């Protein structure tokens, strides 16, 4: 039996519309700390959104004491002359933001409370490392569900650009440098691309 064309299109659409990750990475065997295996990012409304999938739970009881400590760099104007300066050969050069995802814990008299946190550092022109960046945004998944959510191995982040003073352009670069491996980079739409209303990286309204 042949299905109507409209029904076929309806069935195929979700798979066809699923965005391919910007960056994929296969961690080496034996790596204890959770590492990012799939990265999607782009503008969403007035924020820059991320969907990060780790190879194992990035926070909680299962990973202690070696939970996630992964940083994603973003060059918001695709211009290596602004932001972080690590030399012409370094893919991180030009990054305006460093977004660090960490599994953390509050230690109490009896046990500990585990949670996921994100620190967003703004990297001004001439910064020679992430330590030179100023922490402008801190998120805790227990307190900031509108901007930070987690489900199993996946983390969704919204970085509110109105809280930052950074350049922007039609294109942006996203860089992830896994430990012991080459840095990985990909291009995506920038905050001035006109894609902010269409993109749905963060899982709100999914």
Q: Express each pLDDT in 153-167 by its tens digit.
A: 999 999 999 999 999
Task: Check pLDDT > 70 for residue 198.
Answer: no
| Peptide bond connecting 142 to the previous residue in cis, omega within 30 degrees of 0 | no
Residue 1 binned pLDDT confidence (cut-offs 50, 70, 90): very low
What does the pLDDT look like over 13-51, one tens digit per residue? 443 345 689 999 999 988 899 999 999 999 999 999 999
| Distance of alpha carbon 52 from alpha carbon 150, whole angstroms | 9
pTM score: 0.86
Question: How is the chain split among helix, strand and coil, in percent rounded to 5?
Answer: 10, 40, 55
For the chain, domain boundaries: 8-151+160-189
Q: Of 83-92, 119-128, 137-146, 186-195, which gets the smallest average pLDDT?
A: 186-195
User: Are the C-beta atoms of residues 40 and 58 closer than 8 Å to each other?
Assistant: no
């Amino acid at each position: 039996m042949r299905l109507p064309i409209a029904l076929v299109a309806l069935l195929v659409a979700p798979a066809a519309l699923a965005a391919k990750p910007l960056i994929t990475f296969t961690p080496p065997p034996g790596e204890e700390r959770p590492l990012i295996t799939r990265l999607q990012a782009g503008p969403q409304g007035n924020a820059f959104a991320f969907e990060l999938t780790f190879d194992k739970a990035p926070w909680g009881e299962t990973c202690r004491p070696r939970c996630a400590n992964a940083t994603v760099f973003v060059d918001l104007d695709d211009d290596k002359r602004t932001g972080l300066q690590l030399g012409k050969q370094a893919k991180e050069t030009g990054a305006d933001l460093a977004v660090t995802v960490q599994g953390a814990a509050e230690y109490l008299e009896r046990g500990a409370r585990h949670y996921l946190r994100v620190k967003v550092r703004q990297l001004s022109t001439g910064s020679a490392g992430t330590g030179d960046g100023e922490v402008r945004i801190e998120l805790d998944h227990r307190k900031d569900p509108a901007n930070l959510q987690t489900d199993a191995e996946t983390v969704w982040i919204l970085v509110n650009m109105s809280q930052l003073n950074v350049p922007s352009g039609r294109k942006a670069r996203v860089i992830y440098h896994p430990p012991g491996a080459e840095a990985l980079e990909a291009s995506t739409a920038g905050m001035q691309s006109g894609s902010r209303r269409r993109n749905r990286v963060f899982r709100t309204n999914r």
